[in-house]
Amino acid sequence: MSKVGFDSEKYLKIQSEKIKERIKLFDNKLYLEFGGKIFDDYHAARVLPGFKPDNKIQLLKQFKDDLEVIFCINAAAIEKSKIRADYGISYELELIRLIEKLQEQGISINSVVVTLYHEGNNISHLENLLKERNIKMYIHTPTKGYPEDIDTIASEEGYGKNPYIETTKKLVVVTAPGPNSGKLGTCLSQLYHEYKRGVKAGYAKFETFPVWDLSLLDPVNIAYEAATVDLKDVNMIDPFHLEAYGISAVNYNRDISSFPILKNILMKISGKEIYKSPTDMGVNMIAQCISDPEVVKKAATDEIIRRYYNTLCDYKQKICGEDTVELSKSLLDKLGLSLTDREVANVANEAAKEKGVNVLAIKLNNGKIITGKESKILSATSAAFLNAIKEITGIPDEEDLLSPTILDGIYKMKKKTSYNTAYFLDLPEILIALSICSVTNPIIEKAINKLGRLRGCDAHSSYIIAKSELNALKNLGINLTCEPRM
């Protein structure tokens, strides 16, 4: 069983208390800019073993009676059908997915704001989707004067041009299906309208990473940079916090560079200094819940190496540029890490070199590494998966989980019907075969019932595997890296 380094129960308790404290500071009305993934935060779960992927939704559920959610989406992202790389769906469909999942949890959805709208942007499809679900839609155009002319921004010509979104709850979470969606602008626009109405509402920011009270070189913070190399986010010591309090705090470049503007806008709206630093705006309580720093350090360094492997594969496939690879490599260098620190990769690569075929290796939670090699009938991924399942189920190595007759039958059918030159059975096909055979074979049923033991395991392939197999491994919760080789 994998080691735990983070206390989720403590986290939910003290994080909710921190948010409640912030609400009380502002006339019992807080707009909380909510970054990162509300559901399925597997990055945090990998970097902080013990952090549950649904922690954020559990946190929000604690405020269910006093909470409503405003979603933001950039008009350009709608029109260009921008795709979320992790889910493979558009921001528009991800928005609908999030709305429906939150409603299933009993959380109130106030509305959706289409931000940075220009005349002619086609948003009719989203408008129809929201109408079907009885969700209000508001449109925000670019704010006049932004970012230099503070007087215009915080006036009827600036935020005053935006429609006021009627809210009734103490906590208004402003979130989005992806980055650069206009969450901050929406919060500030609402603050402007609230102050006009005599409501001294507040603003705060919720982000899991970077963790302000861990060091700049802490692997947890560097893992955040590794996860956002495509955005070119860089962690920095917050100079405003250091000057105001004499305390070193970690923030990231975009928040630090935009803080003087934000501070002046808040001053113009409220008539007083609300925050002295971008770190002041946050309510992050992650560091206080790390129960075993060494476990977390190991998990975070593993993630940094995984991210570098992913960047190398993206570069090989022309998904990113050389500058992204160099930035990712510099993060390894900061901690003196190298690709050879990934044990499962060493095993897979050595086996591939020795056997002269593609190999995939899986490191089980007990530390044992299982390999599978490509053959005429099975892909390397399929072979490794079957061998791993046999190991965790206690099936002797010499016994077959799927009989050669069944595999050969599927192989021959695929050969007759497929246009591909590689006819071997991939992982999705093996999973289907197992599910069918489990109906009559109790041993296979037992093996399928133990698939959960693969969640959180590391794996490495000696080549870039097909997307169908990659998605299957993701669904199983296996942390895969690949050699940048086709």
Residues 284 and 346 in one domain: no
Q: What distance in Å separates the CA atoms of residue 379 and residue 233, rounded to the nearest whole number?
A: 37
Residues 120 and 266 in one domain: yes
Residues 411 and 282 in one domain: no
Residues 278 and 161 in one domain: yes
Q: Domain count for the chain, please give it.
A: 2
Q: Which two tokens stand for residue 240?
A: 């405003």
Residues 271 and 385 in one domain: no
Assess if residue 189 is contained within a domain: yes
Can you give the pLDDT of all 486 residues of the chain as single tens digits? 578 999 999 999 999 999 999 999 998 899 999 988 899 899 999 999 999 999 999 999 999 999 999 999 999 888 776 554 555 668 899 999 999 999 999 999 999 999 999 988 889 999 999 999 999 999 999 999 998 899 999 999 999 999 999 999 999 999 999 888 999 999 999 999 999 999 999 999 999 999 999 999 999 999 999 999 988 889 999 999 999 999 999 999 999 999 999 999 999 999 999 999 999 999 999 999 999 999 999 999 999 999 999 999 999 999 999 999 999 999 999 999 999 999 999 999 999 999 999 999 999 999 999 999 999 889 999 999 999 999 999 988 877 777 777 777 776 776 666 656 566 788 998 998 888 888 888 888 998 999 999 999 999 999 999 999 999 999 999 999 999 998
Per-residue model confidence as pLDDT tens digits over 278-307:
999 999 999 999 999 999 999 999 999 999
Residues 159 and 33 in one domain: yes
Assess if residue 296 is contained within a domain: no
- Say if CB 156 and CB 268 are below 8 A apart: no
Q: Which two tokens stand for residue 460?
A: 């490495």
How many angstroms separate the Cα of 21 from the Cα of each of 3, 230, 278, 299, 322? 33, 35, 18, 32, 45
Assess if residue 216 is contained within a domain: no
Residue 475 sits in which domain range?
342-482
CATH of the domain at 352: 3.40.140.40
Assess if residue 365 is contained within a domain: yes
Which long-range contacts does 211-216 make (Cβ < 8 Å, 24+ apart)?
A: 211/250, 211/284, 211/286, 211/287, 212/238, 212/249, 212/250, 212/251, 212/279, 212/282, 212/284, 212/287, 213/249, 213/250, 213/287, 214/250, 214/286, 214/287, 215/248, 215/250, 216/248, 216/250
Assess if residue 333 is contained within a domain: no
Residues 392 and 455 in one domain: yes
Among 171, 201, 206, CA closest to 189: 201
Assess if residue 301 is contained within a domain: no
CATH of the domain at 101: 3.10.630.10
